[in-house]
Amino acid sequence: MFDQFESLIGPSEVEPFAQALRGRPAKSIRPRVDRICQNLPFATAQVPWFPGGLKITGGLKITGGVNATPEPVRPGGYLQYAAADYYIQDAASMLPLAMLKLDPDDWVCDLCAAPGGKASAIAERLGTHGFLLANEVIASRLDVLHYTLARTGRANFLVTNSDPQDLAVSLAGQFDKVLVDVPCSGQSLVARKQQTQSSFSENHVEHCAARAFRILQCALQLVRPGGLLVFSTCTFAIQENEAQVAALLETYRDSLSTGSYPELEPWRSPLLAGCYRLWPHRDDCAGGFAAAIELSDPIEPTNKIDRTKSTHGKTTPSRQTSRRKPQERKPRGRSKLDSAEPMLELGEFHLQKLVENHHWLGYEPGAFAFVERFGHRLGHGLQLARIDSKRIEPYHGLSMLLPTLFTPAHRIELDTKNAKDYLIGNAIARGLTDESSATPWSVACWNRKPLGWLKAASNRWNNYLPAWARFTSFSDAQANQTAPEQTNAWPSDDEPPE
């Protein structure tokens, strides 16, 4: 297979490429779009192909007291990370984001969304009337997707667990943009020990290519005429990259064309227009591929159904029909609640709330329009709280919402020491602030940014930070004694395909 790569990068670069595959690339972060990351605890440089990304170029973690020893930066170990100032993501994963050309009101489908690096970037960049459908086929990966999206502070999404073929049938032509990071051989992940050298075998590559082509055909059916499909992989094989685009263009020759990105010219593939490549030895990242395909005519689903009917036989309006005025829905016999009154003790809501099986779900206008049109049969949005027999327990995602969407009834501002205690799961002593409040629930904050929920007890604030969000150590000297050196459980980078 390295003979194939030689045709792309030239004989003189094959050995540097092979060497780069054995080493870990520079770490990168993607700051949240509503945060100004001016005081990051490490040095950074802009990612050339994605202005919203930063490569970590250096930093200093102090160990051994007076004898300072520089060590690799661990960006997941800082309070800024806990406060969702940034997402840890390989710079190569930002290439397809640069190609999406998002508009604020776009409806977007991320067809293979977990663990959520690209999906969260999309949600952050959409307006209140935009909408993201974040789909993940593998159910065991849904939790990490929910957690990652909650860190955006947005409620403009729906998380689904559907086969791409089923989505292609029920949602044909509904999306302005579709992103599909297809399962692939994962050749760029060898250095991370998330793939083995078998990812370079011809049989494995051909198997992955066949599976990816089926997914890409489904993805095309989701795109409305005039829309855009962006397709990406974390592999280098031509069969899984340019050959896939060429096959789609041949199959649907009257409906498709490749997109053009003059600003990405340095990374253009020499094989086919509309295709772009990153290489670990050239670009100081894991490496990857992305392509953009524009659609002029609809691609008909392979399994046709009457899409004017819902599963209950009721008419489902098309996207072009007038939208109904949002109304507060009441439980339909599955909850003992008569109103949203118990939610009021948590704070003031500035988004649409719906109840489903004792769970209150939150939606911004674009996401609510989708739910009004297609219902909850596909998935659900941001989980706000669970209420059973009028006992309320808020979810982590509610505490992380933007102030424009939710204003907590009570906040507690923690200093750095108490913020670290909170993040490792400790209760917080009472008396930190004026604690008079009509609700036992408070949002713990650091630098005026939310970290999670606290609940009042007689002499302390009980910690309601979920176990998956807790830290086991920090990347600065003050916290080295709190726990053994290992990373926290927050999702980071793009996981290997399964």
Give residue 426's domain range: 409-479
pLDDT tens across 314-358, in order? Answer: 333 444 433 333 444 444 444 445 566 778 889 999 999 998 888
In a domain, 324, yes or no: no
Question: Parallel, antiparallel, or unpaired: how do β-strands 107-110 and 50-58 relate?
Answer: unpaired
pLDDT tens across 129-146, in order? Answer: 999 999 999 999 999 999
Looking at the structure, tell me whether residues 168 and 73 fall in a common domain: no
Indicate the range of 108-112, 173-177, 381-385, 434-438 predicted with least confidence.
434-438
Domain harbouring 464, CATH code: 3.10.450.720
Looking at the structure, tell me whether residues 123 and 184 fall in a common domain: yes
Looking at the structure, tell me whether residues 416 and 364 fall in a common domain: no
Looking at the structure, tell me whether residues 71 and 198 fall in a common domain: no
Residue that terminates a domain, selected from 233, 260, 295: 295
In a domain, 326, yes or no: no
Looking at the structure, tell me whether residues 286 and 357 fall in a common domain: no
In a domain, 183, yes or no: yes
pLDDT tens across 193-230, in order? Answer: 555 566 678 888 898 999 999 999 999 999 999 999 99
Indicate the range of 79-83, 191-195, 461-465 predicted with least confidence.
191-195
Domain harbouring 51, CATH code: 3.30.70.1170
Looking at the structure, tell me whether residues 211 and 286 fall in a common domain: yes
Q: Quote the pLDDT of residue 430.
A: 85
Looking at the structure, tell me whether residues 273 and 413 fall in a common domain: no
Residues 6+ apart with CB under 8 A from 99: 230, 259, 261, 264, 276, 290, 292
In a domain, 386, yes or no: yes
The predicted model scores a pTM of: 0.87
Q: Quote the pLDDT of residue 23.
A: 85
In a domain, 320, yes or no: no
Looking at the structure, tell me whether residues 394 and 451 fall in a common domain: no
| Percentage of the chain lying above the pLDDT 90 cut | 66
Looking at the structure, tell me whether residues 130 and 168 fall in a common domain: yes
In a domain, 310, yes or no: no
Give the burial string for 405-437 (b: 16+ CB within 10 Å, else e).
bbebebbbebeeebbbbbbbebebeeeeeeeee
Looking at the structure, tell me whether residues 243 and 387 fall in a common domain: no
The sign of the CA dihedral 337, 358, 123, 104 is: negative
Looking at the structure, tell me whether residues 248 and 371 fall in a common domain: no
Q: How many domains does the chain have?
A: 4
Looking at the structure, tell me whether residues 100 and 117 fall in a common domain: yes
